[in-house]
């Protein structure tokens, strides 16, 4: 695999930024950060804990498993998503307790359902435009 | 300070809402301002107005920035200080709050607040992208979340938890179109049937076309002064007795309860406390029905009904013009239209008309106390104001 250039802080640690979060997605890893002072799990990562203002934060890998809390099938998409329409989006509550929004990829004829078990997967990065970040998405567990 | 007047509205103006072809923000704002000036002959705008606060979501749709200065110039009010405020769809609600704060600070006596937006020259997909700017770009927009889709997520969660039904969502649209048919400035002045609403095409399930507010052009404005000076300008001022604002997460996914819009409840609590008013005291209310589900959740957050009861509350008819607590007599964002930057003070314009007995065919008899609830994004900003006819 090609070496991924992460933005790093003065100590050489991978900086807790959104872009680094997506760079991890490019490596097939769903990552959050945990605050070393108050223990809060922060997703997406932020450079400062919103709870205790500590900047002492460490990366942790998430299981990528969770349940669908709510969803919608989008028929009027933004321009960049026109070719995918209709597609399903939703909010996934991960087993670690934090939640992520994302696309829910279901088979033709298969229905999304509140409460369904999902696991994360990753797309490759788009070749043009900004930002060039690989997207994560979710699919039903039993299909993997 | 409970129950005390914070500021007084001495005049108000509203442009026609709709597809205003060939007219852009500066010109649209002038028609709202002209009405406000004509309504208040004792006001000398050049001499009396000491500051301008103008809400507008984005300058990018017209490739024109510096809206504060632009509006002051086109109103012939140079060198009066003027700024643009942005809080997504709550931009002019924020402008109103800034005006109140300026007056209460003692720095100025009389100000103009308002808002404007030009949207209908954009394609649907451009307008969709533009409105989505108020959500989390890197987590929501990046994954194809549109604004209707975000409110669809709230609707789905509400339907799942409280058994809210599509017919109840549609009932909001039917009511607001009925009210809008009585409003000569509304974008669409036409009644609709529940069947029409339920058979309209899906935008983002479970929300259909008739669950969505309109993409409109329009402007609104208010002239505010210190309460004790109001009678100098008019015999019929309306007093602002409560203001509340709250912020919530920029991403919907970070909220614990997806069936609530907690910022509304927090803003309302602050405004109710300041005004010494409760939900049972209200005679007329304008809520931010950007989507039908938003009106249902607003009922609950404002305490007009209990949590989870919004669906049965709309069906009870209590929020009709002749009901116990009329909501969105103007037609709301659904029928009057939603030029986003103009919406906050346009809601106040309706309450001003209602409390001064000028609401024509949609007049609520004897309305004394009113409330407006203005939402920015999917509730990342909420602004609530409370108004009284008499102090």
pLDDT at B50 over 70: yes
What is the number of helices (H) and of strands (E) in chain B? Answer: 14, 11
Q: Say if B143 is an interface residue toward chain A (CB within 8 Å).
A: yes
Q: What integer pLDDT is reported at residue B127 of this predicted model?
A: 87
Tokens representing B247 are 């912020």
Condensed to tens digits (0 to 9), the pLDDT of residues A52-72 reads 999 999 999 999 999 999 999
| Interchain CB distance below 8 Å, B143 and A103 | yes
Q: Is this structure's pTM higher than 0.90?
A: yes
Q: Say if A77 is an interface residue toward chain B (CB within 8 Å).
A: yes
Paired with B217 in beta bridges are B18
**Residue B14, phi then psi, degrees to nearest 5:** -145, 130
Q: Average pLDDT of chain B?
A: 97
SS3 content of chain A, % helix, strand, coil (to 5): 10, 35, 55
Region of poorest pLDDT, from A81-85, A91-95, A115-119, B322-326:
A81-85
In order of B35, B91, B343, the CA distances from B376 in angstroms are 27, 7, 10
| Mean pLDDT, rounded, for A86-102 | 97
CA distance B335 to B275: 30
Tokens representing A59 are 């990366």
Short-list B220, B181, B199, B208, CA closest to B335: B181
B338 in catalytic set: yes
Dihedral sign computed on CA atoms, order B6, B11, B16, B21: negative
Q: Mutation target for A interface from B145, B209, B291: give the one with most A CBs within 10 A.
A: B145
Higher pLDDT residue, B126 or B168?
B168
Condensed to tens digits (0 to 9), the pLDDT of residues B73-96 reads 999 999 999 999 999 999 999 999
| Interchain CB distance below 8 Å, B254 and A114 | no
Condensed to tens digits (0 to 9), the pLDDT of residues B318-361 reads 999 999 999 999 999 999 999 999 999 999 999 999 999 999 99
Nearest CB partner across the interface for B142, out of A70, A87, A135: A135
Q: Say if A81 is an interface residue toward chain B (CB within 8 Å).
A: yes
User: pLDDT band at residue A2, thresholds of 50, 70 and 90?
Assistant: low
Tokens representing B315 are 């069906």
Nearest CB partner across the interface for A99, out of B138, B202, B253: B253
Q: What integer pLDDT is reported at residue B69 of this predicted model?
A: 97
Tokens representing B306 are 């209990």
Q: Say if A41 is an interface residue toward chain B (CB within 8 Å).
A: no
| Strand A117-122 with B7-14, pairing | unpaired
Tokens representing B326 are 């009329």
Condensed to tens digits (0 to 9), the pLDDT of residues B223-253 reads 999 999 999 999 999 999 999 999 999 999 9
Distance from CA of B132 to the nearest CA of A (A): 9
Q: What integer pLDDT is reported at residue B20 of this predicted model?
A: 97
CA atoms within 13 A on the CB side of A103: 22
In order of A26, A65, A105, B258, B376, the CA distances from B206 in angstroms are 33, 25, 18, 15, 22
User: pLDDT band at residue A129, thresholds of 50, 70 and 90?
Assistant: confident
Neighbours of B305 (CB within 10 A): 20
pLDDT at A144 over 50: no
Q: What integer pLDDT is reported at residue A143 of this predicted model?
A: 52
Q: Say if A123 is an interface residue toward chain B (CB within 8 Å).
A: no
| Mean pLDDT, rounded, for B359-379 | 97
| Mean pLDDT, rounded, for B141-163 | 97
User: pLDDT band at residue A132, thresholds of 50, 70 and 90?
Assistant: confident
Measured CA angle at B377 (ends B9, A16), to 5 deg: 130
Q: Mutation target for A interface from B149, B152, B250: give the one with most A CBs within 10 A.
A: B149
B305 in catalytic set: no
Condensed to tens digits (0 to 9), the pLDDT of residues B176-187 reads 999 999 999 999
């Amino acid at each position: 695999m090609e070496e991924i250039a992460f933005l790093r802080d003065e100590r050489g640690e991978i900086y807790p930024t959104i872009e680094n979060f997506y760079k991890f997605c490019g490596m097939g890893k769903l990552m959050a950060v945990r605050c070393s002072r108050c223990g809060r799990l922060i997703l997406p990562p932020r450079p400062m804990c919103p709870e205790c203002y500590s900047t002492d934060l460490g990366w942790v890998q998430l299981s990528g498993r969770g349940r669908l809390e709510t969803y919608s099938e989008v028929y009027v998409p933004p321009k960049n998503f026109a070719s995918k329409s209709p597609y399903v989006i939703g909010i996934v509550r991960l087993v670690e307790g934090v939640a992520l929004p994302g696309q829910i990829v279901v088979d033709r004829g298969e229905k999304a359902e509140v409460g369904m078990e999902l696991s994360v997967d990753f797309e490759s990065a788009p070749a043009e435009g900004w930002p060039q970040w690989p997207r994560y998405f979710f699919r039903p567990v039993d299909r993997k | 300070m409970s129950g005390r007047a914070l500021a007084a509205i001495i005049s108000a103006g509203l442009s026609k809402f709709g597809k205003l072809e060939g007219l852009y923000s500066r010109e649209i704002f002038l028609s709202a301002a002209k009405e406000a000036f004509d309504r208040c002959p004792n006001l000398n705008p050049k001499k009396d107005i000491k500051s301008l606060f103008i809400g507008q979501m984005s300058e990018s749709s017209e490739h024109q920035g510096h809206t504060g200065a632009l509006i002051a110039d086109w109103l012939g009010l140079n060198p009066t200080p003027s700024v643009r405020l942005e809080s997504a769809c709550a931009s002019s609600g924020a402008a109103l709050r800034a005006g109140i704060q300026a007056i209460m600070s003692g720095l100025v006596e009389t100000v103009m607040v308002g808002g404007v937006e030009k949207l209908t020259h954009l394609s649907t997909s451009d307008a969709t992208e533009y409105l989505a700017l108020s959500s989390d770009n890197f987590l929501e927009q990046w994954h194809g979340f549109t604004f209707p889709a975000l409110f669809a997520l709230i609707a789905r969660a509400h339907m799942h938890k409280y058994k809210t039904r599509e017919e109840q969502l549609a009932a909001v649209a039917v009511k607001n179109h009925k009210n809008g048919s009585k409003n000569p400035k509304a974008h669409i002045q036409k009644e609709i049937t529940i069947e029409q609403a339920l058979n309209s095409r899906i935008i983002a399930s479970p929300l259909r076309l008739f669950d969505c507010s309109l993409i409109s052009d329009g402007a609104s404005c208010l002239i505010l002064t210190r309460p004790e000076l109001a009678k100098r300008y008019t015999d019929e001022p309306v007093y602002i007795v409560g203001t509340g604002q709250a912020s919530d997460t920029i991403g919907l996914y970070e909220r614990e309860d997806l069936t609530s819009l907690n910022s509304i409840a927090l803003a309302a609590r602050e405004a109710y406390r300041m005004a010494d008013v409760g939900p049972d005291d209200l005679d007329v209310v304008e809520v931010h029905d950007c989507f039908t589900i938003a009106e249902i959740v607003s009922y609950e957050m404002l305490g007009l009904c209990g949590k989870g009861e919004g669906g049965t509350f709309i069906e009870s008819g209590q929020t009709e013009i002749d009901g116990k607590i009329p909501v969105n007599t103007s037609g709301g964002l659904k029928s009057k239209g939603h030029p986003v930057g103009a919406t906050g003070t346009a809601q106040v314009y309706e309450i001003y008309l209602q409390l001064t007995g000028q609401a024509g065919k949609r007049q609520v008899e004897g309305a004394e106390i009113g409330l407006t609830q203005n939402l920015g994004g999917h509730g990342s900003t909420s602004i609530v104001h409370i108004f009284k006819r008499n102090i």
